[in-house]
Chain A
Amino acid sequence: MKLYCLSGHPTLPCNVLKFKSTTIMLDCGLDMTSTLNFLPLPLVQSPRLSNLPGWSLKDGNAFLDKELKECSGHVFVDSVPEFCLPETELIDLSTVDVILISNYHCMMALPYITEHTGFTGTVYATEPSVQIGRLLMEELVNFIERVPKAQSASLWKNKDIQRLLPSPLKDAVEVSTWRRCYTMQEVNSALSKIQLVGYSQKIELFGAVQVTPLSSGYALGSSNWIIQSHYEKVSYVSGSSLLTTHPQPMDQASLKNSDVLILTGLTQIPTANPDSMVGEFCSNLSLTVRNGGNVLVPCYPSGVIYDLLECLYQYIDSAGLSSIPFYFISPVANSSLEFSQIFAEWLCHNKQTKVYLPEPPFPHAELIQTNKLKHYPSIHGDFSNDFRQPCVVFTGHPSLRFGDVVHFMELWGKSSLNTVIFTEPDFTYLEALAPYQPLAMKCIYCPIDTRLNFIQVSKLLKEVQPLHVVCPEQYTQPPPAQSHRIDLMIDCQPPAMSYRRAEVLALPFKRRYEKIEIMPELADSLVPMEIKPGVSLATVSAVLHTKDNKHILQPPPRPAQPTGGKKRKRASDDIPDCKVLKPLLSGSIPVEQFVQTLEKSTQHPPVPFLLEQHGFSDIKVEDTAKGHIVLLQEAETLIQIEEDSTHIICDNDEMLRVRLRDLVLKFLQKF
């Protein structure tokens, strides 16, 4: 069993598991932090951005000044932003049988994989993951396509040139594999390969492996996955939460008794408590607005925004903000708000019960109805007519490199009355802000990451007791900036196996058993024999049938009708097939009883013309160091009997030998 690690990003994983005869891709995360190296794409022509000076080498060589621009000491690529794809060379991705998606954030690389690698398999995901994943992709494509950029920089990617660039461009990894955004056509084609699944649905893969999604509590439709055969179980934990937000709670019990637990998607901000962050968010928001400033919240169009709107719903009136307009601007804002209301089955209990009334599960329906929250596809059109300040704007993209947020940064950045509040944890806020410097507006960092923290992980691991834990290397050491915080890493026994991008891990377990079905007719013919109290044995000789990875044992065919005696004899002249297995023997021969039997006249088998049927009268028994020797003097036959062996030494008298053989066998157990 092997794990191919295609992504180095711990919260945007992409691993391939080879298990039994199947090749399973676990998530398809797209590392978008690469876009931070690019200049923002302004929706409206920005003189500031277009007048940034080109960057030149220390020696004054300015051959890169078309591609690279400098802003407040940072260098940015002036080009269509590009994303860092998962490894595509480590394993032949056309051999991937299925892709399991754990949540909508972890499927953003899907079109690159399904459309450009020869992939012919099936993708499994829950309905909310697909619908919201589609919205995220649609938004991304829309953000990038609506501001066509003529320039596509590639010179800087040259390895020899990249070496000369300042950090972080110099250290950017795998730049040659960075790709532009996919198209809507590719998105649709990728999503058409998805098969919808529900929590606790058992999905058979080729009869060999069963996969099951479990609620992970992190987002609408987010799931962890169990990948198991009858005797082995791998749990894949990705983006889970134990906090009570809107999604269905995490199913922990089903993760028990795993041989291997692959742990990804922990909180990216282990030191921040989501609850206090929400509190800070609200207080900073109202402070700014009360002072006449505007608040900008860069965000994804789904996820935490639902919780923030719900908090504001409760907070607005008490904070005296009822007259302040809240704008939610995204090409998919309307869809996101609508979709959130129809996934009752995937929501926490409280929200589910609302549906029974019947009421919409999220209160943003009421915010919209009362005109407190307004949503627009973009800043163009209706929004420009309705726009009133001071206001609060929720819009994307959180990287601040594209989307309507770029416009608001340019618009509000110069005034210290305004505030930008970062709630999404995926991008370092200082890096996100770099191309906007110098900036007068206030910047508040309230990252809300509800995924598991290390205390919760250690509790979870104690509870579900996996034999082995596998995780990204980042989790096996404290964060680089807080190297003394040894509490901010995974602590388990045996120590977690860690992986990094482009590594192949051999997972530490050996498969020992496989399920096989014994057909009822065969089962009826078995003769169990109790060996020890509670333990029975039965020897089985049966015909094995294997089809679609399922194994069945059927009774052996009936032997052909024995033909006449003469023919039989002739048959024995045939060279026997040495592949016919004889049972193994066990036990020991009780010498006295053995001798007694030999002396007695035997009736079985009744072979009347044999003298020996009257028994042996000349038996001599000698003791040896390890056992006995039984001598049949006249027959010149010798039987050595020891604890674990019997040796019959005789003249070429087949009748006698067979008779002795059968007698010995009578005293032994056969396996």
Chain B
Amino acid sequence: MPEIRVTPLGAGQDVGRSCILVSIAGKNVMLDCGMHMGFSDDRRFPDFSYITRSGRLTDFLDCVIISHFHLDHCGALPYFSEMVGYDGPIYMTQPTQAICPILLEDYRKIAVDKKGEANFFTSQMIKDCMKKVVAVHLHQTVQVDDELEIKAYYAGHVLGAAMFQIKVGSESVVYTGDYNMTPDRHLGAAWIDKCRPNLLITESTYATTIRDSKRCRERDFLKKVHETVERGGKVLIPVFALGRAQELCILLETFWERMDLKAPIYFSTGLTEKANHYYKLFIPWTNQKIRKTFVQRNMFEFKHVKAFDRAFADSPGPMVVFATPGMLHAGQSLQIFRKWAGNEKNMVIMPGYCVQGTVGHKILSGQRKLEMEGRQVLEVKMQVEYMSFSAHADAKGIMQLVGQAEPENVLLVHGEAKKMEFLKQKIEQEFRVSCYMPANGETVTLPTSPSIPVGISLGLLKRELAQGLLPDSKKPRLLHGTLIMKDSNFRLVSSEQALKELGLAEHQLRFTCRVHLHDTRKEQETAVRVYSHLKSVLKDHCVQHLPDGSVTVESILIQAAAHSEDPGTKVLLVSWTYQDEELGSYLTSLLKKGLPQAS
């Protein structure tokens, strides 16, 4: 029995370390290869020994697909390909391919240079890893090999984020990666066609959240920033360098312009300018509005947003600072946070999701005394605000996507178990499909029953279609043919053609039955009586009286002859082939009953 198997090595009932193994029709595909921000030990990377303990990964995986550039989706890639060892193809979109190595390098620097980790992947390894990448364009069907094909759809989560369809023959799986169903200030909404996959693997970060309109959230955000700045406070917005940061910059930029505000907006890290440059070059990946107007005004050229210098953090007066990383787990955002945390005039706005174990997660869950490195305790007096700006689909969006793709089964990843449970029920109720939510290392097996494509000879098909125009639900017509199987070539042809092709002669099986009739008249007259009798009984059949005196019913021949001994008896010779067996047999029994008396 063919089946589809799915095993999450990461992101199973969890957010972070996305890595999902899929086996479909004998092909093995790894979806994403992320790191976990909540761990700094072995658990930060997926356990690739699950795939094979001894053999080479290349022999076990047909391809690897990366959905977008966030580290929890690609952070383990150089480790996986260069340190564990994988030489097969790695597919991702072009923006992902461009931005991913930069974030990996950033990640490596923090891990090695700042935290002093040994045995981490090197810059060279990132380069070597990226050489194995094959760029995929939206909607392009990429033939991984003769049977396995993949196709990318727009996901709208970050620049270049994609959902992937993995297809072998008539079986398919769709993996959403992270996606967003509502267009925002710089990206469009995710979209997929009604591709009816056997399985849809969807993220479920906001499985239980239904977010209010984006406009309200934006207004809220601006209000809070404005209030803080007005009272002379500092606003820290921890972000990832690419993605939400650009959206919020666009938002503040226009607000500052409209309100004519003077407080400086800074963007930390040297990445900004470069990041914005990527957005300018990958305009086709942004939303409709930006694409339409980019010639007149490139939205990613900011007037009010300036580069941040570490010294600015201690400057007096109000300011807004975007700093990386977004979950306050390391780097500049954490440094600034420590400096500003003690002042209640200040504010930190967390615009995205924070995984467990990060400082971001801790303060969001209400913790106000944080244990820092070296047993220091940091008291958080600044205001902590959470604004869901991260571009994940909410419950409504997830349901919308399931409705769009019409999958036979749904599997949830990239979310918290409790919330998944709720969404699972909702999906099962609304769409009447099975929904799964495996934990890491747990395998879901779905039996599939793929149909078998064969070639039908057009002659046979047309003959059938021509006759089948009148549908009769009670008595469906049967198509009769011969399936010729030669190697892997399957063809369905008419029986005649099958015989001809195989060089076989048809064997004619014919029957001739003698039916004795009591009739004193001449043979010719008997024939006429037979003709009129059959004509009256068989109204739907073609009954003919031929000039030579014989009678035919369809292709059955009836001849009348004198009896050699008894002149009062006539012999009817009824002759038919095996193909007319039913009718021939019926005629003999009918004639045996005798003819009605001539009136």
Which residues from chain A sit less than 8 Å from chain B, CB to CB?
A: 127, 197-202, 212, 230-231, 334-335, 338-339, 341-345, 352, 355-356, 358, 360-361, 511-520, 523, 526, 528, 531-532, 534-544, 546, 551-553, 556-557, 572, 575-588, 643-652, 654, 657-658, 661, 664-665, 668-669, 671
Contacts and interface: CB of A to CB of B under 8 A. Distances in A.
Interface stretch (B201-209, B324-332, B430-438, B445-453): B445-453
B51 interface: no
Contacts of A517: 170, 451-454
Contacts of A535: 484-486, 502
B92 to A, nearest CB: 13
Contacts of B232: none
B140 A199 contact: yes
Nearest to A648: B511
Given A200-B142, A514-B461, A544 B479 contact: yes
Chain A, interface SS category: mixed
Cβ-closest 8 pairs across A and B = A576-B582, A671-B495, A645-B508, A513-B455, A517-B451, A520-B449, A584-B495, A516-B456
Interface in B245-296: 274, 277-278, 280-284, 294-295
A588 B507 CA distance: 7
Nearest to B193: A204
B585 to A, nearest CB: 7
Contact of B295 (A338, A552, A576, A668): A338
Nearest to A203: B139
B515 interface: yes
Given A231-B455, A652-B516, 7 more contacts: A199-B140, A212-B141, A343-B284, A512-B457, A541-B478, A586-B507, A645-B508
Nearest to B489: A535
B471 to A, nearest CB: 10
B455 A516 contact: yes
13 contacts: A198-B138, A335-B295, A342-B282, A344-B282, A518-B483, A520-B449, A541-B478, A544-B468, A581-B478, A581-B480, A584-B579, A585-B509, A668-B509
Interface string B567-592: 00000000000111111011011001
A335 B284 CA distance: 14
B507 A645 contact: yes
Interface string B473-485: 0001111111111
Interface stretch (B182-190, B369-377, B533-541): B533-541
Contact of B139 (A197, A540, A579): A197
A644 B483 contact: no
Nearest to A557: B476
A127 B554 contact: no
Given A543-B478, A581-B579, A646-B507, A356 B97 contact: yes
Contacts of A671: 482, 495, 498-499
Contact of A201 (B135, B139, B455, B578): B139
Contacts, number: 261
Contact of B457 (A201, A513, A668, A669): A513
Given A540-B492, A646-B509, A515 B586 contact: no
B417 to A, nearest CB: 35
Contacts of B586: 572, 575-576
B12 to A, nearest CB: 30
A650 B476 contact: no
A654 B465 contact: no
B458 interface: yes
A206 B278 CA distance: 39
Q: Which of B284, B510, B512, B538 has the most CB of A within 10 A?
A: B284
B381 interface: no
A543 B477 contact: yes
A317 to B, nearest CB: 26
Contacts of A355: 94, 98, 281-282
Contacts of B508: 585, 644-647
Contacts of A551: 456, 461
Contact of A514 (B94, B458, B541, B583): B458
A334 B507 CA distance: 79
A366 B586 CA distance: 92
B44 interface: no
B509 A518 contact: no
B504 interface: yes
Contacts of B478: 541-543, 556, 580-581
A512 B461 CA distance: 10
Given A517-B451, A518-B452, A539-B482, A575 B294 contact: no
A532 to B, nearest CB: 7
A519 B476 CA distance: 16
A513 B582 contact: no
Nearest to A199: B140
Contacts of A645: 507-510
A652 B513 contact: yes
Contacts of B283: 342
A511 B554 CA distance: 32
B502 A652 contact: no
- Interface size of B as a range: 35 or more
A200 B140 contact: yes
A535 B487 CA distance: 7
Contacts of B451: 517-520, 523, 552
Contacts of A201: 139-141, 151
Interface in B529-552: 537-538, 540-541
Nearest to A554: B476
Interface string B168-190: 00100000000000000000000
A355 B102 CA distance: 13
B505 interface: yes
A648 B510 contact: yes
A664 B585 CA distance: 17
Nearest to A339: B295
Contacts of A552: 451
B361 interface: no
B522 interface: no
Nearest to B449: A520
Given A355-B98, A644-B505, A540 B482 contact: yes
B442 interface: no
Contacts of A352: 94, 135
Nearest to A332: B295
Interface string B88-120: 000000100110000000000000000000000
Given A358-B98, A514-B455, A584 B483 contact: no
A540 to B, nearest CB: 5
Contacts of A361: 281
A658 B283 CA distance: 79
B506 interface: yes
A585 B142 contact: no
Contacts of B224: none
Contacts of A335: 295
Contact of A582 (B135, B512, B579, B592): B579
B396 interface: no
A578 B140 contact: no
Contact of B477 (A344, A536, A544, A648): A544
Contacts of B467: 579
A147 B170 CA distance: 58
Nearest to B476: A543
Given A342-B281, A578-B541, A230 B455 contact: yes
A279 B486 CA distance: 58
B592 A578 contact: no
Contacts of A652: 513-516, 588, 592
B362 interface: no
A110 to B, nearest CB: 20
A344 B94 contact: yes
Contact of A586 (B483, B487, B499, B515): B499
B496 interface: yes
Given A537-B498, A538-B483, A586 B505 contact: yes
Contact of A585 (B284, B507, B554, B583): B507
Contacts of A650: 511-514
